[in-house]
Structure 1
Amino acid sequence: MLIRFWTKRVSLLITITMLVCLLAACGGGNAVNNQKEGDTNNKESAKADNEGTAASKGNVDLKGEFTLWTWEPEHPTALAAFNAKYPNIKVKRVNVAAEDISKKLQTTIASGGELPDVVRIERGQKAKIFDMDILENLEAAPYNADKSILFDYDLPTFSVDDHLVAIPDDMSVAGIAYIKSLAKQYFGTDNPEEMEAIFTDWDVFIEKGKEVLQQSGGKVQMFPSLGDVNQTLKGQRAEPYFDGDKLNVPMLTNTVTDLVKFRDAGIIDKLDQWTPAWNATFGGEKYIFAMSPVWMPQYVIGPNDKKDDRWALMVPPGGGFIRGGSSHGIPKGAKNAELAWKWIEFTSMSQEGAETQKKDGVFTHFKQAYENESFTNWTWRNFGTQDIGHKFFVDISATTKDMPENINDLVLDEVMNIVLQTLVKDEAFGVEQAMDRIQKELKAKAPNIVWE
C-alpha cells in the first residue's frame, strides 16, 4: 500500500511539473525573462537554505560532552541559547574554587590525571596559569580566534608570545562612583560630566579632598581604604611593573609616591578592603567616592546600600582601568577541545552570546555588541536613571588601558599588601622606607627578580 501511494504521488508531481513547463513555454519573451529571474532567485534561495541546513546539520553533528572547571554558577539564559544552537553538546561542570584552580592544574599534571577541556581563569591566577605553558594557542587551527572581535586592551593581557591563550569572559572595566548628595554639597554638582571636568587629575583630587576634610571638620573623606587607591593607580600605570624578571623600579616608585601623598593628605581612611566594615561604608555618608568596576553596582554597592538613586558613576582622573574579571582557556591535549571552543566562541565571541549573557548579568568582551546603544543601555537602582552602561562601556572604556602581567606581579601584590598596612599604621613610613621594604620582601620571596 505504501509503495503504491508514493508511486501515485510521484506520477502526480511529474504531471504537474510538465504542465508548469508548458505554460511557461507559451508565455513569450517576457515569460522567459521572468523565468530566468525566478531561476536566479530560486537558486539563491536554495543556496541560502542549503547553507542554513548545512550549518544546522553541522551544529547537530557536533556531539559529546566537554568538561569545564569553574567556580561560577551556570548562566541559565546563555546556557539555554547554547544548547539550542548545539543540542548535542553537553557541559560537564566541575566546581573548583577560583584560588584553587592553579593548584588543581598542577596536581593533576603531576599525577598524570586528565585535565579539563576548558578552564575558567580568575585574573589573580592568570599569570600563574599562563606561566605553566599548558594552554592552547587559540589563534591557531582549529580555533582560529579572531583578535579583532575583542577590545584592543584585551590583547596583551590574554596573550603569551603575542598569541591569545585565553578569551576574556566578563567585562571588568572600572571607573569611580560617588554619593550624589555629598558631591553636591562639597563640589556644587552631582552631574558626572561636570565632576569629570572638575577632577582633571589626582593632584586636583587630593586638593579637593583636603577642602572636604576641612569643611566637614574631618568627618568626610574621599575613599575608605588606601587599598582602593592602590588598585586604581595600579590599573592606570603607564608601563608594566615587570619585563620578565626585571622590575620597573621607576614605575613602582611613582605609584608608591602617589600612595604616600594620598596618605599624608588625610583624605583616605584606614579600613581594609573586603572587610565587613569596608562593605558597610556603601550604605553610609562618610566617604564620597568608591572604586567601581562594572560588577560593583550589582554585587557590592547594591547588597550594602538598600537606598535607591544615591550614587553616580564617572570616568576617574587618569582614565578607566581594569579590576578583576575572568577568562577561559583550553589546556593542550584536551580531548574535547572542539566542543569546548564552540562554547567559548558562542558565549564570549558572538552577538547572541553577548545578548544572552547580558540577561544573566554578565557583559562580555565582544566589541561589536557595544556599538548598539540599546545594548549598552543599563541602569541600576542605586544609580537612579543614569545610564551607567553607557558610562562604563563608552566613556570609561574609551579611556581604559591594561597592562600585561607575569608571575612576578603576584609576588609584588603580596608585598604591596604588607607595605599598604604599614603605610596606614605608621605616618613616618615614607617613600624611601616603603621602597626599601619592597626590595627586602621581594628578595626574600623571589630572588630571581632583578632590581634596577
Structure 2
Amino acid sequence: MSKSGGTKRIVVALVLCLLAALIAACGGGNSGGANPSASGGTGPNASGGGADTGGTGGGSGAEAGSGGDEQLKGEFVLWTWEPEHPTALAAFNKKYPNIKMKRVNVAAEDVPKKLQTTIASGGELPDVIRIERGQKAKIFDMGILEDLSAAPYNADTSLLFDYDIPAFSVDGKLVAIPDDMSVAGLAFIKPLAKEYFGTDDPEEMEKMFTSWDVFIEKGKEVVQKSGGKVKMFPSLGDVNDILKGQRPEPYFDGNKLNVSALESVLSALVKFRDAGIVDKLDQWTPAWNAAFGGDKYIFAECPVWMPQYVIGPNDKKDDRWALMVPPGGGIVRGGSSHGIPKGAKNAELAWKWIEFTSMSQEGAEAQKTDGVFTHYKKAYEDPSFTNWTWRNFGSQNIGEKFFVDISATTKDMPENINDTYLDEAMSIVLQTLAKDSSFGLEQAMDRIKKELKAKAPDITW
C-alpha cells in the first residue's frame, strides 16, 4: 500500500492502528506526510507483523533452481520499514538457498537522513534500499544509486509498465525498480450513485462522467437535490491528488517551474471549490477517515491499498462501494521501489532479490500471496492473477478494474527535489483554498512562489 511527502506528518486515525506495522509513513506524491501508501501490503492477503532490526531471511529451500545464478552465496543488507513477506522470501530462498537477507529497520521518512549521515560519517551503506514514493525525489537527487538498466544489472524494462520508466529514471538512467502496485481509480458509494445518477454500474458511470467539467456539473445537481447535505468529495486534497497525477507535464524541468502546468491544476481546484461540491475536511484526520462509513460524500480517490487499509476499517458495511476509471484516467498514488547504492558490497545478491520479487512471474505470484501486487507486467495478462474482490465492493472484480482498465489509462511523471518543496507549499495553499472563498488562482500562485523562493532560491519561473 502507500504513501509521503511535503505535508506535515499526520498520524492515521486510531481505527488503523492495528495495521501500523504495515502502514509506514508515506503517501503518494507528497513529501513527509503520513498515510498508508508506504506499505507494500496492497493485495488480498497482506501480512502483518513488525520489522525487526537485523532479521535474516536465511534457511535453505527445498531445492535450488538450475543455472549458475542459483549457486551465488552470501548475505545482502536491506534497509526497509516493511515486515518480511514470508511467501516471497521462502520462494526466493528456494531458488537461491545460499543467499541470505539481513533486514535493518528504517522508517520510510528517515531513509534520506540516514543515508546522508551514513555518507557523511564514512559509514557503510546497505546493499539495497527500500524507497517510499514521497522520499523518492530526495533520494534520487543524492546521485548515489546505480543505473539498473546498465551492466551488470541490465534490467529488462519491457517487463515493467510503460509509465514506470520515466518515474524511476534520472537523466535516462533507471535507478530503482518499483515494488508494490499503487495505481489509483475512483471509488463511489453505490446507493448514493443510484439515487443521484440513476445507476451504480461502474461502466455506466464511466460513460456518464466523460470529463471533470461534466463531473462538476453533476456535482452541482447533487448539492441542489440534497439541499447541500451530499457532496462529491470530502476534501480538496483528494481532488488535488487526482489532478496532479493526471497533469500532462512535469511541474519542473530542472529548476524551472512549469507555470502553465501548475496554473492548470490550481484553476481546476478553484473551480471545484467554487462549485460547492467538495467539503473542507483535511486528509488523514479522524473526520476524513470516518467519512468513508457515512453517506455525505459520493466519491473517493482509490489507490490499490485503499480498500484494505482505509475504506475497509472505516466502513463495516459490505457491498456499498464500486470502483471506476476516473475522468482523465488513472494515476499513481503511493508505492515503493528498491535501489542499489553505488559501491554496494553485495550488489549482485541484492539485484537477485529485486529481480526475483519485482520482475518475475514466480515473484509476482509469491508477492500476491503476501498481499503485494508487483509491477511485473506479464502477470496481469492472466485473468486469474488479476481476479481480486473485497467485501466493501461486493462481487466486483476490483483487481481487473485496477490492473486492466485503470492501469491502461495511467500515467506517471518524473519528479525532482523541487517537487518536494512544491508539495509543502501546496499543502498550505490547499487549506487556504478550502476555507477561504476569496482566495483564488492569483493569490495561490503568489503564495506558492513566496514559499518556493524561501525554500529553494534557485527555482525560476
Distance 1:184 1:143, change over 3 A: same
Deviation readout 1:225-277 (Å, 9 max, x if unpaired):
00000000000001100000000001100100000011111110111111111
Larger radius of gyration: 1
Contact 2:234 2:291 in 1 (8 A): yes
Are residues 118 and 368 of structure 1, via their aligned partners in 2, closer, same or farther at CA, if it must alter by over 3 Å?
Answer: same
Question: 1:277 is matched with which residue?
Answer: 287
Deviation at 1:59, TM superposition (A): 4.7
Structure 1 contact 59–87 (Cα < 8 Å) conserved: no
1:99-248 → structure 2 map (5 Å cutoff): 99-248=109-258
Confirm whether residue 266 of structure 1 aligns to residue 276 of structure 2.
Answer: yes
**C-alpha separation in 2, matches of 1:330 and 1:123:** 16
Q: What is the aligned partner in structure 1 of residue 54 from structure 2?
A: none
The whole-number CA distance in structure 2 between the counterparts of 1:142 and 1:241 is: 33
Q: How many residues align?
A: 399
Q: For the residues of structure 1 that align with 2:111 and 2:195, how far apart are their CA atoms? A: 47
Q: Equivalents in 2 of 1:115, 1:321: separation in Å? A: 33
SS state at 2:167 partner:
coil
In 2: Cα distance, 1:201 partner to 1:305 partner: 28
Report the Cα offset of residue 210 of structure 1: 0.6
Q: In the aligned structure 2, how far is the partner of 1:413 from the partner of 1:294? A: 22
In the TM superposition, what are the counterparts of 1:360-399 in structure 2 within 5 Å? 360-399=370-409
SS of aligned partner of 2:204: helix
Shift of the alpha carbon at 1:60?
Answer: 4.6
Moved over 6 A (4+): none
Q: Return closer, same or farther for 1:137/1:192 CA change in 2, 3 Å cut-off.
A: same
Instruction: Quote how far apart the aligned CAs of 1:299 are.
Output: 1.1
Name the CA distance, whole Å, in 1 between partners of 2:385 and 2:221: 40
Q: Distance in 1 between matches of 2:220 and 2:138?
A: 40
The answer on whether the counterparts of 2:187 and 2:321 sit within 8 Å (CA) in structure 1 is yes
Report the residue type matching 2:214 in the other structure.
Answer: V
SS in 2 for 1:152: coil
Q: Distance in 1 between matches of 2:173 and 2:262?
A: 27
What is the rounded CA distance, in whole Å, between the counterparts of 2:67 and 2:99 in structure 1?
13
Per the alignment, residue 58 of structure 1 pairs with 68
TM-score (norm 2): 0.85
Question: Residue 232 of structure 2 aligns to which amino acid in structure 1?
Answer: M
Q: Distance in 1 between matches of 2:353 and 2:257?
A: 38
Structure 1 unaligned segments of length 5 or more: list them.
1-52
Letter in 2 for 1:360: D
Cross-structure match for 1:71: 81
Residue number in structure 2 paired with 1:446: 456
Aligned-partner Cα distance in 2 for 1:182–1:323: 25
> What is the CA–CA distance in structure 2 between the aligned matches of 1:255 and 1:216, rounded to whole Å?
28
Task: Provide the residue aligned with 1:307 in structure 2.
Answer: 317
Match of 2:439 among 411, 429, 442: 429
Q: Deviations over 1:14-73 (max 9, x none)?
A: xxxxxxxxxxxxxxxxxxxxxxxxxxxxxxxxxxxxxxx995363552111110000111
For the residues of structure 2 that align with 1:203 and 1:115, how far apart are their CA atoms? Answer: 50
**Which residue number in structure 1 is paired with residue 51 of structure 2?**
none
**What TM-score, normalized by structure 1, do the two folds share?**
0.87
Q: Please list every run of 5 or more consecutive structure 2 residues that lacks an aligned counterpart in the other structure.
A: 1-62
Once the two structures are TM-superposed, the CA of residue 303 in structure 1 deviates from its matched residue by 1.2
Distance in 1 (CA, whole Å) between partners of 2:155 and 2:258 is: 32
Distance in 2 between residues matched to 1:404 and 1:85, nearest whole Å:
34
Mapping 1:73-88, distance limit 5 Å:
73-88=83-98
Q: Whose helix proportion is higher, 1 or 2?
A: 1
Distance 1:216 1:193 in 2: 24
Select which of 309, 312, 317 maps to 2:327.
317
Q: Provide the C-alpha distance between the structure 2 equivalents of 1:349 and 1:317, rounded to a whole number of angstroms.
A: 30
SS in 2 for 1:437: helix
| Identical columns (%) | 82
Task: Name the counterpart of 1:296.
Answer: 306
Tell me if structure 2 keeps the 8 A contact 1:59–1:85.
Answer: no
Alpha-carbon displacement from aligned partner over 1:362-404 (angstroms, at most 9, x marks no partner): 1000000011111111111110000001101111111111111
Map of 1:406 onto structure 2:
416
Check conservation: 2:64, 2:97, Cα contact below 8 A: no
Task: Give, in whole Å, the separation in 2 of the partners of 1:319 and 1:430.
Answer: 26
Per the TM alignment, residue 76 of structure 1 is displaced from its structure 2 partner at its CA by: 1.0
Distance 1:211 1:54 in 2: 63
SS of corresponding position for 1:370: helix
Partner of 1:308, secondary structure, is coil
What is the rounded CA distance, in whole Å, between the counterparts of 1:402 and 1:390 in structure 2? Answer: 20
Amino acid at match of 2:297: Y
SS in 1 for 2:184: strand
- How far apart are residue 425 of structure 1 and its match? 1.7
